Homo-oligomer: A and B are copies of this chain.
């Protein structure tokens, strides 16, 4: 594929960012180069995961995709969590969810809609995803709502509620995998179509495993650089950590997925485009976020699910509009415009939020 050359070229930012870090260059340079280095690493890690998934058969493959599909976001978040940057971690979760359902779905629907008058997709899967997303939003909203409506909180109440919520979300996530891979896999069959890109016979398993491991290690290093430079970069550029966490970090980890979703939408495979984008949001909300809560608890960096109220509002409005657009099983370019406009307004709001 042509685009691979582009991402291979971007790997040049890996040594540059390492040099920037070791030679103590300006934090803005360290931040920028590590951000740019993560883009191709995330791309190749995702590609290797998919190749191994193809070889492993549908069930194990589905599990692999479901677990490592957002590995980049998870690694960046773990590093930030370890550094105690709770609000950056939460903001990057919010931003990943919003970015996937507004920016990626919006671009896919808009660009697909410019090429095809009306595009159709399975409304059943769209509605199941919508109600799972609603559950995820509720899980995000309730701790913040308890916090906001309680004058004097018992110490630890929010943390205990977050732990309980995290366990419930992971349980539902596992059950939703059983649903989509086992008991009701027929509903999802029409959505498939990715395998063509990685024909089973062409997969070089040792190479894929090596790529996966190498990319994971490098992403972990780059995340350290990125997180280490984030504070000075934000103050140098006059941005808030919230804005960087919500808007910039998620763009990095998801750039490759964004490209894939838009590409398949322009091939009129809206089902696949929506599955990639909304599935990724669901994974962030129902797997990555709870794993971070549990990991934080194990690491002695207790993270709760008590998001900033404005983040909660932003996620609620995003899920509301994407459900409103997707529920009828057809899309057109104006619906893409609506999602992109919502993303723009939300991004401006975060920019002006101190």
A337 at the interface (CB under 8 A from B): yes
Cross-chain contact B324 with A131 (CB below 8 angstroms): yes
User: CB-nearest residue of chain B relative to A328?
Assistant: B127
For the residues of A in contact with B, the DSSP-based class is: helix
Cross-chain contact A184 with B352 (CB below 8 angstroms): no
Q: Cβ of A132: which chain B residues have Cβ within 8 Å of it?
A: 338
Q: Cβ of A184: which chain B residues have Cβ within 8 Å of it?
A: 117, 332, 334
Would you give the shortest CB distance from A89 to chain B, in whole angstroms? 19
Cross-chain contact B348 with A134 (CB below 8 angstroms): no
A335 at the interface (CB under 8 A from B): yes
Sample 25 A-B pairs with CB under 8 A, ordered by A number: A117-B184, A124-B330, A127-B328, A128-B335, A131-B325, A135-B338, A135-B341, A138-B317, A138-B320, A139-B345, A141-B313, A142-B314, A142-B317, A146-B352, A149-B309, A149-B353, A150-B353, A154-B354, A157-B354, A160-B352, A165-B345, A172-B337, A172-B338, A176-B334, A184-B332
Cross-chain contact B161 with A349 (CB below 8 angstroms): yes
Q: Cβ of A338: which chain B residues have Cβ within 8 Å of it?
A: 131-132, 134-135, 172
Bound together, the chains give a CA A282 to CA B320 distance in angstroms of: 18
Number of copies: 3
Q: Cβ of A325: which chain B residues have Cβ within 8 Å of it?
A: 131
A145 at the interface (CB under 8 A from B): yes
Q: Cβ of A321: which chain B residues have Cβ within 8 Å of it?
A: 131, 134-135, 138
Q: In the complex, which range does the number of interface residues on chain A fall in?
A: 35 or more
Bound together, the chains give a CA A150 to CA B135 distance in angstroms of: 27
Knowing A131-B335, A176-B334 are in contact, say whether A313-B149 is a contact too (CB < 8 A): yes
Q: Which of B131, B176, B317, B341 contacts A141 (CB 8 A)?
A: B317
Bound together, the chains give a CA A81 to CA B142 distance in angstroms of: 28
Bound together, the chains give a CA A325 to CA B165 distance in angstroms of: 20
A211 at the interface (CB under 8 A from B): no
Q: Cβ of A310: which chain B residues have Cβ within 8 Å of it?
A: 145-146, 149-150
A285 at the interface (CB under 8 A from B): no
Would you give the shortest CB distance from A320 to chain B, in whole angstroms? 6
Interface residues of A in 145-164 (CB under 8 A from B): 145-146, 148-150, 152-154, 157-158, 160-161, 164
A323 at the interface (CB under 8 A from B): yes
Bound together, the chains give a CA A124 to CA B145 distance in angstroms of: 33
Bound together, the chains give a CA A175 to CA B321 distance in angstroms of: 18
